[in-house]
Amino acid sequence: MSEVLQLSDITREFKQGGKTLEILRGINLSISRGEIVALLGPSGCGKTTLLQIAGLLEKPTSGSIIINGKKVKGAGDGLLTQLRRTQIGFVYQFHHLLSDFTALENLLLPQYIAGISKAEAQSRGLKLMESVGLEKRATHYPSEMSGGEQQRVAIARALVNRPALLLADEPTGNLDPQTAEEVFQVMLQTIRSLKIGALVVTHNEELANRMDRILRLNDGMVQE
């Protein structure tokens, strides 16, 4: 299996009140295509920081990042934007859908930005809406959908540009247990069907145990 994410010796430090805070201390991890990895750890340990670095939204203090075979070190803003747009999908705890657009339109916009034709974008969007079980809700606005449905649309949106890597930060953390289970099942099935790699931050040990591998972040270090 080819690796879609490689982090080598990643550190992240912050200056605060004349002191240096070490949030990440030499992180090494890799994720292969088709592999779903859970990232666990106590609140405030740096999980979101690590996810932001893996998603090229934040720069590490030191270390190297390779996304689907492309080295990031020294890359300009143009390449970083292109990699985020074409190689990485993001799912957050809150869906962040655009309220003035329908569910399908929320899937079309990122494709148009990536230069995909209207016909192809429509086809991809409808197929993904079907994959997450919402083909009958394509023309509904976020306000007309339940929280679980909105989060499923957010998952579809993250995958619509066919990224190599999905990064999810507590994707079911804002949902009740039954809805969280439904959304989690849909997310796993969709990721596996597309054969992409995924790093999923969660506090839920039960959900983590159903992924392929568990990493634990504690005291700035990752342990398997």
Confidence of residue 1 (pLDDT cuts 50, 70, 90): low
DSSP readout, 129-189?
A: HHHTT-GGGTT--GGGS-HHHHHHHHHHHHHTT--SEEEEESTTTTS-HHHHHHHHHHHHH
Confidence of residue 188 (pLDDT cuts 50, 70, 90): confident
pLDDT digits (tens, 9 = 90+) for 64-106: 999 998 888 777 788 888 888 889 999 887 778 999 999 999 9
Confidence of residue 62 (pLDDT cuts 50, 70, 90): very high
pLDDT value at residue 53: 93
Domain ranges of the chain: 32-61+74-223
Residues 193-214: what's their mean pLDDT? Answer: 90
Residue 126 in 3-state DSSP? Answer: helix
> Superfamily assignment of 32-61+74-223 in CATH?
P-loop containing nucleotide triphosphate hydrolases (3.40.50.300)
Q: Are 160 and 125 in contact (CB under 8 A)?
A: yes
Q: Are 57 and 83 in contact (CB under 8 A)?
A: no
Asked whether the predicted pLDDT for residue 15 surpasses 90, the reply is: no
